[in-house]
Amino acid sequence: MNQSLIEDLRRIASYAVTRLLMLFITVTIGVYLTIWIANMGGKLDELREVQIRDQTAEAVRADPSFFSLPSDEQQQLVEQQVQLEIKRLRLDEPFINRSIDYLWQGMILDLGRAENMSSDSGSRQVRDIIVERLPPTLLLFGTANIIIFVTSILAALALSRRYGSPADRAIIALAPTSAAPSWFYGIFLILIFAFIIPVLPAGGMVERPPPEDKLLYALSVLEHMLLPLLAMFIGAIFVSIYQWRTFFLIHSSEDYVEMARAKGLPGHLIEQRYILRPALPPIITAFALTLIQLWNGAIILEQVFNWPGLGTLTFQAIGLRDTPVILATVVIYAYLLALTVFLLDIVYMILDPRVRLQGNN
Amino acid sequence: MTKYLRLVSRYPSAAAGIAIITTLIVMSVLTIIAIPYSKAIDMWRGGEQWQDNPINASPAWSNWFRDKKLPRTIKVASNPADIVETEIGGVRRALVPIEFEYNYDGFPSEVNLFINTDSEGPQPFARITWHTPDGREILISGRALRPNERISISQDRGLERRLGAIPHVALFKATNSDLALRGRYRAEVEVLLFDPNATVTAQLLSYGRVHGIAGTDHRRRDLVIAMLWGTPIALAFGLVAAVGTTITTLIIAAIGVWFGGRVDATIQRITEVNMILPLIPILVMVGTLYSTSIWLMLALVVGLGIFSSGIKQYRAMLLPIRESSYIEAARAYGAGNRRIIMRYMVPPVLPVLIPGFVSLIPAYVFLEASLAVLGLGDPVLPTWGKVMNDALSQGALYHGYYYWVLGPALLLMLTGLGFAMLGYTLDRIFNPRLRQI
């Protein structure tokens, strides 16, 4: 017994390392592709060069100490400074060299200073900006995901016990409403609860100015979270319940469940041991997959609710063409996705009894 | 086929879905016939052609639900027969009356007066008065006229100060209530002409607060154009994206399954990289940096969707087919790889994919809308998402222009529901295990 446990752990560890390596390579390739897209295959650098030239020329022209210089000397000075700046940003090298640099910096999230953006605390370090925006996103989407997941599983179990009931029919009828994304319901919710009956804030994360008191601050955040949470809840809950209910129904028509019933086991025991236990790996998979989808949808929902998270940051960074920040957000997304996939793999492996069976053979 | 039709008709939600989809398709076809593509783009570009429309007017039918009726746009031109001319010492005095019936309780959104004169020599001079149904006379302005004079009564600050309220409200307000006074109004333009041959015509434009079936936006454009043209665009985008991704993914999965080994492994690895790439940030990035053309977005969605997570699911379906005896038979008669993949492996899986495919369409319709709401809509085409984006960026909810958001939202919802309802039912029909439940 003990030996087989060690064997299991060894297998899990070696599997984990292989998976981690694979995922790391995957993330690297993904990030590198993004670097190319974000720089328009190097074309963005030409734009930046023009921008540098304009700014330098403007600076030299506006500086009173250069007023007395003849215009060709001014021209020379501008050219000199432009070349220096180009050297500093290494724009004179082929893009491929810099792209490798970007990749390395991106992967270790050491992207230096943002070009145009700054964090709310005033720092221009990309890392500070990201670190500031990550918690709101995790808070909102983590909470929403857990609420949706737990509610839908419980509701689905309850419905699968008496399918065909009016509640069950209602869920089937309502499932197609999940075709609309959460931001779509968000707009309706803002319309109703922020404008027609103004009881909740239309956007943002905390009231302005933020309350000093910790408790009041938390309450204010909670108040601002209600509408986006509700939007995500409405957008996902019905289809989620529907799918789980169908899933449980299929599982509860298995022979071994019939057998358990025939033995006269009580309902909750059947659910725990014969329906939920074998269904656990797919449930975990589905949970992780919805997580991935939610990361993707975050950018629009955050934009609609003006939530100061990663999604809004991505959007702002793209608008300002701030390559380091764009890159950093994509890297963070990629890492979050990879982490989700990795955890999924590991949990799956621990939960799936076949892994242990294979080990014993 | 008839068997499936009969099955579908047993599910009311599928019937409703089909009805909605058919309506949308008919609407699209009629729209494309009635308003050709180039004309739609031209109309949506806005400008002069919409100058007679009010800004941000609600749909006309919203009046049914109101106690206090809001006005439509009233456009009255002077009648040449009503013009009274008198001559005093070489100067002609033309009295141009403009009369109209006003049967609303709300106030107009804007009132403009246009006076056209063709006179040479000294500029004609006009004195404009306003006569309310209860007999009050209000002096609006006296001024020299250019040949095509546009008098923005609503923007006349002097008049506003004199009347103590915004002109288009003060001119229509009843003395004893806060509502507009119903009845016959008369604007009188008295013009002094110094050229004996000159003629004068005048036109009064009282912009309403309701307009058409869908209302108007901040650039006076009739939203009906966007509502109508949004339909074929949304359907085309959803359909092409869903077909494109489903078919290509299926073929890629079939190639992987058929060749196996390294090809299969490569495909799986690409799929994993692709799953890491965040779709919407990439679309936003390309939209901001390159172009927001809807066709580019479509190509990108299909391109990034080829190696989607669906490959794993399709592989599971294709693996048993690969081992089946008819494939062996095909091989025996000497069928090539391509023939086997395209003729024998892909077709049997297609029906199983239909429910998922139908449910995929609304996802792409909403994706297009999402991009537009982020401000990355196609630069020239009128789409539902772009209308919503305009509305949200103009603070439509804050100002109470709910129709502006609700119109496109309703159509989006209808499209989404139509396809989703059909998709779910098809899923239950094609998936035998679900049918028993």
Domain limit, last residue, from B185, B207, B229 = B207
Domain containing B382 equals 2-44+220-430
**Structural domain includes residue B51:** no
Look at residue A67 in the predicted model and tell me its pLDDT. Answer: 75
For A179, which of B282, B392, B417 is closest by C-beta distance? Answer: B417
Strands (E), B71-214: 74-77, 84-88, 91-102, 110-117, 125-131, 137-144, 148-152, 183-193, 200-207
Indicate whether B214 belongs to any domain: no
Tens-digit pLDDT profile for chain A (361 aa)? 577 778 878 877 887 888 888 888 888 888 888 788 777 666 667 777 777 888 888 888 788 877 777 878 888 888 888 888 888 777 777 778 878 887 888 788 776 677 777 777 777 888 888 888 889 988 998 899 889 989 998 999 888 888 788 988 888 888 888 888 889 999 999 999 998 888 888 888 888 888 888 899 999 999 999 999 999 999 889 988 988 888 888 888 788 888 888 888 888 888 888 888 877 777 777 777 777 766 666 778 898 899 998 888 888 887 777 777 877 887 787 788 788 878 877 777 777 666 554 544 3
Does pLDDT of B282 surpass 70?
A: yes
Instruction: For A192, name the nearest residue in chain B, comparing CA atoms only.
Output: B397
Domain boundary among B174, B207, B240: B207
Give the residue, A91 or B116, on which the prediction is more confident: B116
pLDDT tens-digit profile of B363-401?
Answer: 999 999 998 988 888 889 999 999 999 998 898 888 989
pLDDT in tens, B172-212: 998 888 899 999 999 999 999 888 888 899 999 999 999 98
Percent of chain B with pLDDT over 90: 52
Mean pLDDT of B419-430: 86
Task: Give pLDDT tens digits for B305-340.
Answer: 888 878 888 888 888 888 888 988 998 998 889 999
Same domain, B187 and B270: no
Residue B405, domain CATH: 1.10.3720
Task: Say if A290 is an interface residue toward chain B (CB within 8 Å).
Answer: no
Using a CB-CB cut-off of 8 Å, the residues of chain A touching B388 are: 187
Taking phi over 0 as left and psi of -120 to 50 as alpha, with beta for the rest, A109 belongs to: left
One domain for residues B201 and B316: no
B249 vs A69 pLDDT, higher one: B249
Which of B137, B73, B134 has the alpha carbon at shortest distance from B104? B73
Same domain, B40 and B64: no
Amino acid in the structure at residue B18: I
- Are A300 and B423 within 8 A, CB to CB? no
Tell me whether residues B397 and A326 touch, CB distance under 8 A.
Answer: no
Chain A residues inside the 8 Å CB shell of B417 = 176-177, 179
Question: Does A300 contact B280 at a Cβ distance shorter than 8 Å?
Answer: yes
B49 falls within a domain: no
Mark whether B123 and B38 lie in a shared domain. Answer: no
Give the best residue of B275, B282, B286, B289 to mutate against chain A (max A CB count within 10 A): B289
Euclidean distance between CA atoms B96 and B85, whole angstroms: 9
| Contact: B424, A30; criterion CB under 8 Å | no
Which chain A residues are within 8 Å of B420, Cβ to Cβ?
175-179
What is the C-alpha to C-alpha distance for residues B227 and B407, in angstroms, rounded to an integer? Answer: 8
Q: What residues 48-67 of chain B have any CB closer than 8 A to a CB of chain A?
A: none
Q: Looking at the complex, does the CB of residue A173 fall below 8 Å from at least one CB of chain B?
A: yes
Give yes or no: residues B297 and B244 share one domain.
yes
Shared domain check, B341 and B261: yes
Give me the residue from B281, B289, B416 closest to A330, CB to CB: B281
Tell me, yes or no, whether B233 and B338 share the same domain: yes
The predicted complex's ipTM stands at: 0.83
pLDDT score of B435 more than 60: no
Helix axes A323-351, A95-107, angle to 10 degrees: 50
Could you tell me if B203 and B224 lie in one domain?
no
Mutation site, B276, B290, B406, interface A, largest A CB count within 10 A? B276
Please tell me if residue A291 touches chain B, with a CB cutoff of 8 Å. Answer: no
Closest-CA distance, A72 to chain B, in angstroms, reads 36
CB contact under 8 A, B272 and A26: yes
Please count the structural domains in chain B: 2
| Both structure tokens of B395 | 């603070």
Let me know: does A40 contact B283? Beta carbons within 8 Å.
no
* A305 contacts in chain B (CB < 8 Å): none
Residue B36 lies in a domain: yes
Q: Is residue B123 part of a domain?
A: yes
Mean pLDDT of chain B, nearest integer: 89
**Quick one: pLDDT at residue B433?**
62
